Copies of this chain bind each other. A is one copy, B any other.
């Protein structure tokens, strides 16, 4: 299928509608981004890639990394992991403390901030050199050693992290954080600062479209059943308080980040990554979400 032609046509349509989104303001480094940037790239499991506009420009992947940290923790710990974090959608804004308090410090799922911090704590326990080891894990999957952390973003994030600090202390009070809080949060802020291009994102996530194995390297990253479960969690929890709406409109499992990136996976077919910095009120890329909705509608292809 000529995906590039579709990208071109959908983009033309969307140029006419007003983008009412806002670039993330909560950390200075993110707020300075050029709001007009737009990139999309699709890679099939056969290895063909279709890119459009700024698909080779790096941006801050932010929460998208939470899928990769979850995968490494799940790979290592197996189903023991689910004692410390759930797999249910949260049904409330992405940083709410309310549910966490009612549920005794066990976060609803690994993609809300609290859950991703628990995953960070797990990795700090497991990995010898957490930051180096985690980066190597991603570089290996993506076959790309140029992927790296942004120290600037990590620092900026750290300085405006009061709410995340509240979350981690609350979980510590429920004994669901095992390591030193500063070490856990330093690791957490670092992994959220990773920068990638749309094409690199595809390379990092393609195995989820192929039952857990990289189709290029013919190498199993995680088992089939694990791959299906990661996709299921992305489907039900990948878009904060808008996960149901994304499933409804786009129909693919995926994950968004406040940098304006979205990765979505069509099992058995392809991985698609998109980047547009302005966010809707729920914190997901305004144009990215609309683009993917038009895309799956136009090609009449979703998992449903």
How far in angstroms is the closest Cβ of chain B from A229? 5
| Cβ-defined contact, B232 with A248, below 8 A | yes
Residue from B109, B297, B304 in contact with A267 in the complex, judged by beta carbons closer than 8 Å:
B304
With A225-B297, A228-B251 already in contact, the answer to whether A243 and B173 are too (CB < 8 A) is: no
The CA of A172 and the CA of B167, in the complex, are separated in Å by 13
Interface stretch, picked from A65-73, A94-102, A119-127, is A94-102
Q: Are A232 and B253 in contact (CB under 8 A)?
A: no
1/0 per residue, CB under 8 A from B, across A246-276: the answer is: 0111010100000000000001000000000
Known: A97-B101, A163-B169, A167-B166. A304 touches B244 (CB 8 A): no
Contacting residues, chain B, for A251 (C-beta < 8 A): 228-229, 231-232
Residue among B96, B109, B162 making CB contact with A173, cutoff 8 Å: B162
Total number of A residues with any Cβ neighbor in B under 8 Å: 51
Q: Which of A108, A162, A249 has the most CB of B within 10 A?
A: A162
> Is the CB–CB distance between A101 and B91 below 8 Å?
no
Check if B248 sits within 8 Å of A233, measured CB to CB. Answer: yes
A56 interfacial contact with B, CB 8 Å: no
- Shortest Cβ distance from residue A255 to the other chain B in the assembled complex, whole angstroms: 14
Residues of chain B contacted by A231 (CB below 8 angstroms): 251, 304
A213-247 interface code vs B (CB 8 A; 1 in, 0 out): 00000000000110111011101110001111101
Q: What distance in Å separates the Cβ of A195 from its nearest Cβ neighbour in chain B? A: 26
Cα–Cα distance between A271 and B115 once the two chains are bound (Å): 34
Q: Can you sample 6 A-B contacts with CB below 8 Å? A: A109-B244, A162-B172, A229-B248, A235-B247, A237-B244, A267-B303
The 9 closest A-B CB pairs, nearest first, are A91-B91, A231-B304, A162-B173, A88-B244, A166-B169, A89-B89, A166-B170, A232-B247, A165-B169
